[in-house]
Amino acid sequence: MTDDLEQENVAGEELDVVIPGALDGVRIDRALSILTGLSRSEASSIIDSGTVQLDGKLVVKASVLLNAGQHLTAMLPAPDSGEVAADPQVPVEIVLEDPDFIIVNKAPNQVVHPGAGQREGTLVAGVLAQYPEIMELARIGLCDPIRPGVVHRLDKGTSGVLAFARTPEGFASLSEQLADRSMERIYIGMVEGHVAEERGVVDAPIGRSSRTPTMMSVRSDGRPARTHYEVLARIEKPHAMSLLRLQLDTGRTHQIRVHLSTIGHPIVNDARYGHRRERRLEEDRFFLHSQSLAFAHPRTGEWLTTKVALPTDIGSLVPEGIEL
C-alpha cells in the first residue's frame, strides 16, 4: 500500500549515519530525536545507555554539538509489540462518519499510530476508543495491530484529513483507490522562497537516503513519485515565501517535503528537509496541511469530497484575501 508515513523508524537496530549539513551545530539529543522520531527524553536515555558514538568515540553528554560530516552510531530501542490500546482521552475530530469508514481531521503535531517516538496518546488510540471494530481488521490480517483501520498516514507535523476504514469492504476499497491513484488528495503548503512558475510537476523517484537512512531523497533507483503544485500567493514578509496547492499522484514517504526541497523550496519550518526560520510555529510543526480527500464510496460508488480549513497555527500566516 502506498502511503504517507509519519516516521520510518529503525528502532531495534543500529543507527549509522553521517551528520548532514542541516544538523550542523545541533545538540546530539535533538539530532537523535529528529533522525529517529524518538522523544528528547528517549534520545537522552540512549546516550545514558552508552551506545552512542561520534567518530568512534563514546558520547556521554546530551549537550554535545554536532558537526556536519561526523559519523554517528547509536543502538535504538526496540518498539513495543502487540495491539494498540484504546484511549478515550485522545481527542478525535470526526469530519465524516460512514458504516464503512470515517474521515478525521488530524491535529497539528499529533502522531497517527504508535512508534519508537511515541507509544501512547496517538490518534489511532483515540479512534479505537470510539470505533472498536477497527481492531477486527488487524485481527483478520488486513492491517498491522498497531495501525488498525489506517488506510493512509500523515507525518506528525502535517495536519488535516485522514481516512480510517471500519469494515473489510471499506478497507479494501479505500486501499485500492489509494493504490490505483483514483483517490484525490489535496494539500496546502507554504515553502521558502518565491516559486517562479505558476504551476508545475515534480516528477522524480524517491528512495531511502544512502547517507541518512531515516530520511528520503530523490534517487535514480527510487520508486516513481509525482507531485503537482500551483502557486496561490507569493509572500514578501517576514521573508520570501510561496503558498502552494499540492496534489499527489503517488504517496511516497515524505514525498511533498522531499520534492519541494529538491527544487529549492523546502516547506516552511521543516528542519529535516530544509531549515527552521518561521519562529511563530512550534518546533516540530511545519506548514503542510491535508486540505481535502475525495474518493468513491466503497459500496455505492458515489463521489465524496471532504475538506477542512487550515488550523489556526498556520492559518494565521496566510495573508487575508487569499482563497484556499
Alpha carbon separation from 224 to 3, 42, 188, 230 (Å, rounded): 13, 35, 22, 21
In whole angstroms, what is the distance from residue 210 CA to residue 166 CA?
A: 38
Q: Which of 4, 29, 155, 270 is catalytic?
A: 155
In whole angstroms, what is the distance from residue 50 CA to residue 38 CA?
A: 17
In whole angstroms, what is the distance from residue 112 CA to residue 313 CA?
A: 19
In whole angstroms, what is the distance from residue 213 CA to residue 211 CA?
A: 6
For residue 21, what is the DSSP state? G
- Pull the grid cell for residue 230: 500551483
177-183 contact pairs (CB < 8 A, 24+): 177/295, 177/296, 178/1, 178/2, 178/3, 178/151, 178/152, 178/251, 179/1, 179/2, 181/249, 181/250, 182/295, 182/296, 183/293, 183/294, 183/295
Q: Is 155 annotated in the active site? A: yes
In whole angstroms, what is the distance from residue 286 CA to residue 8 CA?
A: 18
> Under 8 Å CB-to-CB from 230, ≥6 apart: which residues?
198, 199, 244, 245, 246
- Pull the grid cell for residue 324: 484556499
Angle between helices 40-48 and 28-36 (to 10 degrees): 120
In whole angstroms, what is the distance from residue 127 CA to residue 35 CA?
A: 28
Nearest to 108 by CA among 94, 98, 120, 123: 123
Residue 65 β-bridge partners: 27
What is the set of active-site residues? Answer: 155
